[in-house]
Amino acid sequence: MQTTGDQQLLKRINRSVLLRLMQQQGGLSRARLAAHSGLTKSTVSALVRELLDEQWLVEASSPVTGDGLGRPSTPLQLNAIGRVLIGIEVAVECLRMVCVSLTGELLSEHEAPLDSSDPQAVCAQASGLLQPLCADLGARHITICGVGLCLPGAVHDSTGVVHFAPNLGWRNLDFLAMIRAAFVSAGIECGPVYVQNDADAAALGEYEFGAGPKDDPLIFINCDVGVGAGIVLNDRLFTGARGAAGEIGHTILQINGPLCSCGRHGCAEAFIGARAIKTSADLERAGAYLGVLIQNLDALFNPRAVVLGGKICAQYPGLLTQAKATVAQYTSQSGMPMTEIRAPRYGLQAPAVGAAALVLHRFLRPLSEGASHVFGH
């Protein structure tokens, strides 16, 4: 390995350590950053200078006293206006694009019906949506950290290959390469580009812009026509060997139950998926089965937080109530504490915001799989 490469990597790691400390607790001084990170004060000072110059951080205008480390100090914050993250959700019926600050503030959102699910057409439409936003941000001297995309399918973490997206009709598609090429040919300069599954992205959004490690493990359940889950475990997404972990819609909840779209009987999707809900009795049953599903996930992962999102949960808030009641019944029977079950912070924008969060997540973890190709940016 070259020495320069090592130094660059070390610097990236140290920068990410400081940014993650700032993400978890705003208002830290340089002295506090040094104390919490274990880095020397001079290293922290030099890195903070860079992070200020590159608009990752801002400092408060007046120093404060009394932070317990002696001299008056200047509190630092993540820069909420100088840099943005962009997320694009390729849904079955539409494209959603959001622009989000480093602190998770939703700055703008756009939605357009999907012209066609042909991959090249999707790339062209996404480029057309992104181009004016990039031009506008550029004119305002706002830096784009990168663009994350998410879609309903199994995506390989580090290669961005979509193994299977049945609702888009895609199989073994090198979507990351295609979308990058489309952005380049449209003259879009937007930093690194990433692709992830929609429920995985939504889970990351809840994690990065929420309580972070205090919510680890976190499970995001996306209820639509299909039912999927994104799982954050040990500070990273748990996606499985081929990106298909979390396909909870096809876990079996009843032997010889109703027919599922996959051909099996009694899958969770056959009780909870949009097509299974036609009457109020169906809705009540779906809520109860959702509770069963959460109980099973709790036994597997013992999560700190379960987030119930997707179109079905937004349309029928009673599902959350019923699911909670069912889980409460199981926890009271076992005497175990109840896991927190909540609605998503960003509602139906959760996957798109999560795709934006993916950019930050990867940047802050320079050693994680999939981040290696951004060295040098």
- Residues that bind Zn ion in the complex, under the rule CB under 5 A: 250, 260, 262, 264, 267
Q: How far apart are CA 101 and CA 17, in angstroms?
A: 19
Q: How far is CA 333 from the centre of its chain?
A: 34
Comparison of 92 and 233: residue with beta carbon closer to Zn ion: 92
> In sequence order, what DSSP letters do the residues of 155-168 get, joined into one string?
E-TTT--EEEETTT
Comparison of 76 and 293: residue with beta carbon closer to Zn ion: 293
DSSP H helices in 96-238 = 119-139, 175-185, 198-208
Report in angstroms how near the CB of residue 253 gets to Zn ion at its nearest.
10
In sequence order, the β-bridge partners of residue 306 are 219, 341
Q: How far apart are CA 208 and CA 205, in angstroms?
A: 5
Looking at residue 104, what DSSP letter applies? -
Comparison of 171 and 264: residue with beta carbon closer to Zn ion: 264
Comparison of 91 and 267: residue with beta carbon closer to Zn ion: 267
Report in angstroms how near the CB of residue 270 gets to Zn ion at its nearest.
7
Give 371's contacts (C-beta < 8 A, 6+ positions apart).
Answer: 362, 363, 365
Comparison of 39 and 262: residue with beta carbon closer to Zn ion: 262
Verify cis geometry, omega within 30 degrees of 0, for the bond prior to 63.
Answer: no
Inter-residue contact 149 to 179 (CB < 8 Å): yes
Comparison of 100 and 272: residue with beta carbon closer to Zn ion: 272
Give the residue from 136, 135, 134, 155 showing the smallest Cα distance to 145. 134
Report in angstroms how near the CB of residue 293 gets to Zn ion at its nearest.
13
Report in angstroms how near the CB of residue 256 gets to Zn ion at its nearest.
14
Report in angstroms how near the CB of residue 169 gets to Zn ion at its nearest.
18
Report in angstroms how near the CB of residue 266 gets to Zn ion at its nearest.
8
